[in-house]
């Protein structure tokens, strides 16, 4: 393959920043040092990174490429979606398998592999959605955590009643199963029942436009569901990851549970960090409908900044995009009924720049924290660190030369996604991916993409990943059931003793039971 030497840049990891060159050979970073030189005869591609940062490529842990949803299919597929990702400095995605309920989880996983493998231009992993519950599903979940499938997270919807949603008792059992098999539970937190009721009321009142979408989904319902998910996850001893945190109440619920020591992670998305929900009231139907996603953008204009503050202070941990792009004409399916507008926005291509602009340029995030929230922490949570998410010898050469000073204006007319609008249209952002190197190959340089579809690889992700499960097993030990051994009051003892004299077998069993619990209590104290 090839050798690339990135000269004169500043290498930024989530925990360090230093002047250094980066040497890449055959897809792997082999050296990171000040002033690396190579032999004259060697065929080396030199990349000048003077005054630039050299960062690990972004990891978007939340995409829905070519997802069949609400009767149509998202327009960005595994090829156009990952091409756009690379142009924006993202070099790995984790997509969601959301299969048909009638086919099993493994069948659905195979279908996604079949869609993705011939098309992906960057590495990818998969997270599998569980939209119905049964003992067979529980078994399939366990099967999927084996190395040949490489799934270590499952997603649950507390929204979309009647399609994806599972109820609370099912959700609780599924999280107990996740805890048992070493998987992370990811949750779409909204109260599906209350939303359905509100939708019907609004439609009955003649509110049919996109403004109905936001009114049917007040942010308190997101907060309620996020809190409920955190409480149930802690009781199930299951690590939890709340996807697309869109509002202050949801973020607050997560922060409160983190303070209690619960293993919970929160993911704000690019759209939620840059936009608020006043656009749902826009007179232009297409514009308002383009913003339809769930949970909706917050109507509180101070929310985007508040979410960024929480990201800066590690109360939220990772950024994603969640998305799922439908053309204007697809969105128009809901012209007379907002509940029929397919949900989803773009973000994959622009997220790195958005987070840089709103986070680093505005003085809230350091470049190191930027690397953490856009790349390293996701790699840690999903268990592919330091292979991904780090610039160090031995890591995959997914590297971006980032120009913090250059600006660009985001527009549908210049983006690389297929979708025919861009919710960030007209926004001027600092921070541009100059060069993107994916698997040791320069795929984006001077505004030109040179990618080959099908060159990305599937990254199997292992269960019982320490970053997530490191404290879970101890928590399980510490919360073992406790039984208090008591001398029973004499009047209850007497009948038992009498019974015992009549039936020796029963009384033996009784003694065994007491002996067991005595042992248990003792080991519990010393352990």
Which residues contact ligand NAG by CB under 6 A?
7-8, 35, 37, 46, 48, 50, 64, 67, 69, 133, 167-170, 191, 193-194, 197, 244, 269, 271, 293-294, 322-324, 343-345
Q: How far is the CB of 178 from ligand NAG (least distance, A)?
A: 18
Taking phi first (over 0 means left), then psi (-120 to 50 degrees means alpha), and beta for anything else, what does residue 510 get? alpha
Give the Cα separation of 229 and 355 in Å (integer). Answer: 27
Q: How far is the CB of 287 from ligand NAG (least distance, A)?
A: 15
State which residue, 116 or 451, has the beta carbon closest to ligand NAG: 116
Give residue number: closest CB to ligand NAG. 293
Spatial contact of 89 and 402, defined as CB atoms under 8 Å apart:
yes
Q: At what angle do helices 105-116 and 135-144 cross, to 10 degrees?
A: 40
State which residue, 76 or 322, has the beta carbon closest to ligand NAG: 322
State which residue, 76 or 396, has the beta carbon closest to ligand NAG: 76
In the numeric block, the tokens 């319902």 are attached to: 221
State which residue, 67 or 451, has the beta carbon closest to ligand NAG: 67
Give the Cα separation of 126 and 107 in Å (integer). Answer: 14
Contacts of residue 9, Cβ cutoff 8 Å, sequence gap at least 6: 19, 20, 21, 22, 49, 50, 52, 53, 54, 401
Q: How far is the CB of 511 from ligand NAG (least distance, A)?
A: 39
Spatial contact of 114 and 153, defined as CB atoms under 8 Å apart:
no
Q: How far is the CB of 473 from ligand NAG (least distance, A)?
A: 29
* Helices (H), ranges, 159-205: 168-181, 192-204
Q: How far is the CB of 233 from ligand NAG (least distance, A)?
A: 15
Q: How far is the CB of 516 from ligand NAG (least distance, A)?
A: 33
Give the Cα separation of 462 and 239 in Å (integer). Answer: 15
State which residue, 72 or 368, has the beta carbon closest to ligand NAG: 72
State which residue, 48 or 143, has the beta carbon closest to ligand NAG: 48
Contacts of residue 75, Cβ cutoff 8 Å, sequence gap at least 6: 325, 326, 327, 330, 418, 419
Q: How far is the CB of 81 from ligand NAG (least distance, A)?
A: 12
């Amino acid at each position: 393959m090839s050798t690339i030497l990135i000269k004169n840049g500043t290498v930024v990891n989530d925990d360090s920043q230093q002047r250094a060159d980066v040497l890449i050979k055959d897809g792997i970073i082999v050296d990171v040092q000040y002033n690396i030189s190579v032999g004259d005869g060697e065929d080396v591609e030199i990349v000048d990174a003077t005054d630039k940062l050299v960062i690990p490529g972004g990891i978007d842990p939340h995409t829905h490429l070519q997802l069949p949803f609400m009767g149509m299919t998202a327009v960005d597929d595994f090829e156009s979606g990952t091409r756009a990702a690379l142009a924006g400095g993202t070099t790995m995605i984790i997509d969601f398998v959301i299969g048909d309920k009638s086919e099993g989880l493994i069948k659905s996983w195979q279908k996604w592999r079949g869609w993705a493998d011939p098309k992906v231009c960057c590495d990818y992993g998969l997270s599998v959605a569980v939209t119905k519950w049964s003992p067979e599903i529980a078994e399939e979940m366990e099967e999927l955590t084996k190395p040949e499938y490489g799934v270590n997270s499952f997603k649950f919807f507390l929204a979309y009643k009647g399609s994806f949603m599972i109820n609370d008792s099912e959700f609780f059992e599924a999280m107990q199963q996740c805890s048992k098999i070493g998987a992370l539970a990811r949750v779409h937190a909204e109260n599906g029942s209350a939303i359905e009721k509100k939708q019907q009321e609004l439609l009955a009142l003649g509110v049919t436009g996109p403004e109905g979408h936001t009114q049917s989904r007040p942010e308190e319902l997101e907060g309620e569901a996020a809190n409920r998910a955190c409480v149930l996850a802690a009781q199930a001893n299951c690590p939890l990851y709340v996807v697309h945190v869109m509002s202050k109440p949801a973020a607050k619920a997560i922060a409160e549970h983190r303070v209690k020591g619960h293993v919970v992670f929160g993911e704000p998305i690019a759209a939620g960090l840059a936009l608020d929900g006043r656009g749902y009231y826009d007179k232009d139907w297409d514009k308002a409908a383009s913003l339809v996603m769930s949970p909706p953008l917050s109507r509180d204009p101070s929310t985007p900044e508040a979410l960024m503050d929480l990201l800066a202070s590690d109360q939220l941990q990772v950024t994603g995009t969640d998305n799922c792009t439908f053309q204007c004409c697809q969105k128009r399916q809901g012209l007379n009924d907002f509940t029929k507008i397919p949900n989803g926005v773009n973000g994959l291509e622009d997220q790195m720049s958005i987070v840089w602009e709103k986070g680093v340029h505005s003085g809230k995030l350091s470049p190191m924290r930027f690397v953490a929230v856009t790349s390293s922490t996701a790699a840690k949570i999903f268990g592919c660190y330091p292979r991904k998410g780090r610039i160090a010898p031995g890591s995959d050469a997914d590297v971006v030369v980032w120009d913090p000073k250059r600006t660009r204006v985001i527009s549908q007319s210049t983006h690389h996604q297929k979708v025919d609008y861009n919710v960030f249209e007209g926004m001027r952002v600092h921070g541009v991916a100059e060069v993107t190197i994916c698997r040791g190959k320069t795929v984006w340089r001077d505004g030109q993409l040179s990618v080959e579809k099908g060159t990305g690889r599937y990254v199997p992700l292992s269960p019982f990943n320490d970053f997530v499960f490191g404290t879970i097993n101890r928590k399980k030990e510490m919360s073992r059931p406790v039984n208090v051994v008591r001398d029973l009051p004499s009047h209850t003892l007497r009948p038992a003793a009498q019974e015992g004299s009549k039936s020796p077998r029963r009384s033996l069993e009784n003694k065994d039971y007491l002996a067991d619990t005595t042992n248990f209590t003792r080991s519990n104290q010393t352990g």
